[in-house]
């Protein structure tokens, strides 16, 4: 569930003999969406005024106004602030405590006296991470660790070290593919601002790291960077409130992968014509960072779900996750090993209908040779996202290290999903995965 930060700023000009304090929420405290929706935001504090009977304390939120009645006895305030005994004091009921359900991110606390509103405090509900708002309500990443905006505008370049490491990575892949006769392709999922730049508030630079990388790709490597294909899809290829592509974008990417690895035309993999989609209002990893969460209507595949093909899932979050899917009705009776990232997950709904066995390992293109040796795939896809390319993947990586780190931190203890009956073709390496 999304977690937000409550920011508050006191308005210092308010005086007129009135003293007040907000006990709760404290500045920069965290609160989750469930609490905000179910209970509302707790506002608690006190207000002292010489003209205490003639004012009303309120909170403004959008067009909504709610009173914060002074109904709580605060003997501590009377003693410490006024230096008086609280018993029978006329301002003993100076405290307020009320939960208010917010419909907008910004709110103000103030007093109404003699028909005039005076602001005491400004507050807002902000996501933990910043979101860049484009035109027509499109949302984009901002202030992320990969510095997406600086990459797009060319302020952040591919460093000399990164270039050297990418060259070494590409060279190792090409050499390995040649020596083993294993078809290999690399898929880089474009950032949504590259495909829908018309909604993005910044201008793209030809010096962006992804274009530096494209110029380094050897001709002998099947490299897929499907900006043109995703732009030309009749359906929208990226979600408005999420960083990732839509089902339609994932379908296109899956078909391009199968085409590259098999040497067959994309038309050979046009097998999804009967798919049905249902429109749903979805938030996503960007929309959920706003309060209230922003949603947009998206097509959701409703006649097929890859989960029914899963025979193994170690349920490790993010890096280190391993999923094995088996579908005997797939177009190709082959095993695809996919070293992928977050963009791969939506592809599962299509790629597992193109390959009879798909072994997914969440590494963002980092390669674990021990897994290749165990799986013995017919082909391999290395998938990463464009915003990750400022750092090269490794050719000799260890998934075991990822898993060990997750378990040591307490994030890798979910129950493993294992089919009651494992297909013979993958039984051996699934047991290997289960031992990691």
The string over 272-284, giving b where at least 16 C-beta atoms fall within 10 Å of a residue's C-beta and e elsewhere, is: beebeeeeeebbb
Helix axis angle, 247-262 relative to 344-351, nearest 10°?
Answer: 70
35 with 8: CB under 8 angstroms? Answer: no
pLDDT score of 130: 79
Which residues, 6 or more positions from 404, have their beta carbon under 8 angstroms from its beta carbon?
Answer: none
How confident is the model over 96-137, as pLDDT tens digits? 999 999 999 999 999 998 888 989 999 999 876 679 999 999
Tokens of 273: 């014509």
Q: Are residues 362 and 235 in the same domain?
A: yes
Domain-ending residue, one of 105, 127, 149: 127
Domain-ending residue, one of 127, 159, 174: 127
Q: How many domains does the chain have?
A: 2
Under DSSP, is residue 160 helix (H, G, I), strand (E, B) or coil? Answer: helix
Domain-ending residue, one of 77, 101, 127: 127
pLDDT score of 49: 81
Q: Are residues 68 and 164 in the same domain?
A: no
Q: Are residues 34 and 170 in the same domain?
A: no
Q: Are residues 60 and 99 in the same domain?
A: yes
Q: Are residues 179 and 161 in the same domain?
A: yes
Q: Are residues 291 and 426 in the same domain?
A: yes
Q: Are residues 106 and 145 in the same domain?
A: no
Report the C-alpha gap between 121 and 68 in whole angstroms.
14
Q: Are residues 36 and 159 in the same domain?
A: no
The secondary structure element, H or E, covering residue 30 is strand 29-32
140 half-sphere exposure, CB direction, 13 A CA radius: 26
Q: Are residues 135 and 122 in the same domain?
A: no
The neighbour count for residue 356, using CB atoms within 10 Å, is: 22
Q: Are residues 92 and 142 in the same domain?
A: no
pLDDT score of 27: 85
pLDDT score of 395: 98
pLDDT score of 12: 63
Peptide bond into 187 cis (omega under 30): no
40 with 102: CB under 8 angstroms? Answer: yes
pLDDT score of 16: 61
Nearest Cα residue to 304 out of 326, 277, 324, 323: 277
The string over 304-342, giving b where at least 16 C-beta atoms fall within 10 Å of a residue's C-beta and e elsewhere, is: bebeebbbbbbebeebbbbbbbbbeebbbebbbbbbbbb
pLDDT score of 17: 64
pLDDT score of 9: 92
- Alpha-carbon separation of residue 382 from 2, 188, 200, 337, 344 (angstroms): 30, 8, 28, 8, 10
Range of the domain at 155: 131-435
The neighbour count for residue 114, using CB atoms within 10 Å, is: 8
Report the C-alpha gap between 156 and 213 in whole angstroms.
13
54 with 36: CB under 8 angstroms? Answer: no
- Averages of pLDDT over runs of 10 residues in the chain (436 residues) are 87 70 91 91 91 81 95 96 92 95 94 88 85 96 91 96 98 98 98 98 96 97 98 98 98 98 96 97 93 95 98 96 98 98 99 99 98 98 98 97 90 90 95 94
Q: Are residues 120 and 191 in the same domain?
A: no
Q: Are residues 86 and 229 in the same domain?
A: no
């Amino acid at each position: 569930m999304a977690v937000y930060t409550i920011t508050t700023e006191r308005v210092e000009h308010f005086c007129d003999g009135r003293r007040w304090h907000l006990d709760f929420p404290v500045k920069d405290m965290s609160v989750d969406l469930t609490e905000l929706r179910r209970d509302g935001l707790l506002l608690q504090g006190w207000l002292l005024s010489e003209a205490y009977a003639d004012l009303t304390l309120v909170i403004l939120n959008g067009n909504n106004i709610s009173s914060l009645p002074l109904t709580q006895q605060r003997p501590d305030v009377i003693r410490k602030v006024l230096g008086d005994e609280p018993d029978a004091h006329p301002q003993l009921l100076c405290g307020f405590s009320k939960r208010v359900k917010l419909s907008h991110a910004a709110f103000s606390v103030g007093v109404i006296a003699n028909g005039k509103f005076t602001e005491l405090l400004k507050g807002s509900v902000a996501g933990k991470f910043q979101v860049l708002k484009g035109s027509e309500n499109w949302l984009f990443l901002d202030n992320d660790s990969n510095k997406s905006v600086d990459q797009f505008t060319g302020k952040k370049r591919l460093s000399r070290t990164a270039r050297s490491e990418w060259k070494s990575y590409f060279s190792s892949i090409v050499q390995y593919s040649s020596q083993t006769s294993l078809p290999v392709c690399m898929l880089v999922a474009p950032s949504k601002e590259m495909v829908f730049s018309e909604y993005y508030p910044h201008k793209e630079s030809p010096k962006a790291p992804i274009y530096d990388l494209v110029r380094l790709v050897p001709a002998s490597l099947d490299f897929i960077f499907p900006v043109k294909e995703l732009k030309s899809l009749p359906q929208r290829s990226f979600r408005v409130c999420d960083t990732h592509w839509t089902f339609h974008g994932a379908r296109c990417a899956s078909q391009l992968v199968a085409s590259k690895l098999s040497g067959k035309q994309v038309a050979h993999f046009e097998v999804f014509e009967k798919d049905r989609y249902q429109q749903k209002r979805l938030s996503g990893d960007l929309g959920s960072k706003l309060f209230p969460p922003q949603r947009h209507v998206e097509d959701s595949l409703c006649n097929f779900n890859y989960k029914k093909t899963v025979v193994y899932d170690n349920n490790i979050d993010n890096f280190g996750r391993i999923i094995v899917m088996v579908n005997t009705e797939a177009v190709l009776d082959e095993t695809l090993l996919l070293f992928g990232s977050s963009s791969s997950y939506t592809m599962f709904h299509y790629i597992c209908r193109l390959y009879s066995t798909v072994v997914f390992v969440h590494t963002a293109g980092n390669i674990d040779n021990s897994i290749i040796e165990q799986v013995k795939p017919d082909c391999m896809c290395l998938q990463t996202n464009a915003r990750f390319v400022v750092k090269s993947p490794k050719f000799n990586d260890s998934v075991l290290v990822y898993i060990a780190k997750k378990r040591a931190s307490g994030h890798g203890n979910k129950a493993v999903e294992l089919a009651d009956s494992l297909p013979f073709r993958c039984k051996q390496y699934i047991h290997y995965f289960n031992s990691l």
